[in-house]
Structure 1
Amino acid sequence: MRHPASKPVSPAEINALPALMPRSERTRGGRLLGRLTGDRLSRTHRWLLTLLGVALLLTALSHPIERLLGGMIASRIPSSWVYSGSIQSLQRLDAASLAPSQLPEAVQMQIRSRFAALRMPTSNAPLYELVFRRSDRLGPISFALAGGQIVVTDAFVAQHPSEEDLMNALTLQLGHLQHRHALRAITDHSLLSMVRYLVSDDASNGIRLISQEQPVLQHDEHCVAEARSFAEEVMRLNPPPNLALNASGQHVADSLSN
């Protein structure tokens, strides 16, 4: 049996083919195509939504993870590195922005004595040292270095007219020390470098990193909230009547004005 010879099909004939199909076949085919396309799009959407969810989760967890790693590394840094690096930071600040304090020695001793007499909410309160400086450039500020130095300017003391106000302000810096905020800021910013120096026991570069990356007034809201919570707890343990007057019955601000 001879088969009919094939012949080319023109574009007009191809376009006319769907119209020649029975209506039921066209409808059934369209439904099938739509269902397959819809399933394919649904799977694509699900993958996209899954990827988006994972990305959002990683973004939300990145900062807490960084905080956790930074805190772990900060706890491994030798205290000698931290203290030496902070001393170098203070020396650099003394050369650029700070000058010797003009507060009378008696006033400085009184503030140190009152601050040392505060009851702490925990037995592992941080070691600290009050460092008085004058600064026309920085004005009334106080800040804590990682090594325990709490720098207080003359203008900051004058800005807090009662011992209660002054103690409250200084305990905020003690709260930063309690939570190791300065050191954690250093490890957060230069985590890989600090890990490398710790692994190689490179003290000189570790100290240099601490001295150069030392934050002064750059704590985020989370750190400020932690420090404020610690300060409030300290002040609850130390009622205002125990802080109000110095030995001669005068406020600190009165002593400064004499």
Structure 2
Amino acid sequence: MSQDRASGATPPEPPEIARKVFGDRLGDAVRYAELLADVGVSRGLIGPREVPRLWERHLLNCAVLSEVVPEEVTVCDVGSGAGLPGIPLALVRPDLQITLLEPLLRRINFLSEVVELLGLEGQVSLVRGRAEEVLPTFTPVHVVTARAVAPLDRLAGWGVPLLRPYGEMLAIKGETAEEELKSARSALAKLGMVRSSVLHAGVGVVDPPSTVVRVEVGESPGGVRFAAKRAKAARRSGSSRRPRR
């Protein structure tokens, strides 16, 4: 990262609540905020106007997603970008195994450096590509996360097929979450959705709390077409193992 021209921006001091949220990983969260404010801006991963609100709008807003993620599961952060929500989630939940899925090389390079600097190599892995490109060889996960990637119906088309049977997608959305969910129900049903809901994470921690759309799937995540495609890819690779429930 030393080759990058520094942006000159300095993130604000972490609010007191950050110590409660990140615990003994607060120092790593601070370092991550510094990287976002510096080379994250100079590389175009975040806008310079976001620096003053890095903690409330980005790090804490993503970290509180941990409240609704089950224990000891595998997670794929689709369209991870600068590592949001994947990196904050990894810092507060060492029990999770997280894959950051991102198609752009400059973002993957940044994420690789962040993972190394924060000592997350054993917990966080990187996959470069789009969801539809990696699907045939991707090992399905329990949970897919996403933030500010795409409208819900399009996002689900990318993320739901990456799930194991009976997994769930957790998408951080804004004030239009209920409206998005309502308009996407038909598309979600075709992808194997069995239940959906709008949750609020971080009540009393961040203001406003993070609004999360949860999409739970059944036995065939992504629908029959994607299940058949994944099974065909498994046969080609010589694997006959079925994902555990």
| TM-score calculated relative to the size of structure 2 | 0.26
Whichever structure has more helix as a proportion of its residues is 1
The structure with more radius of gyration: 1
Larger RCO: Structure 1 or Structure 2 (Cα < 8 Å, ≥ 6 residues apart)? 1
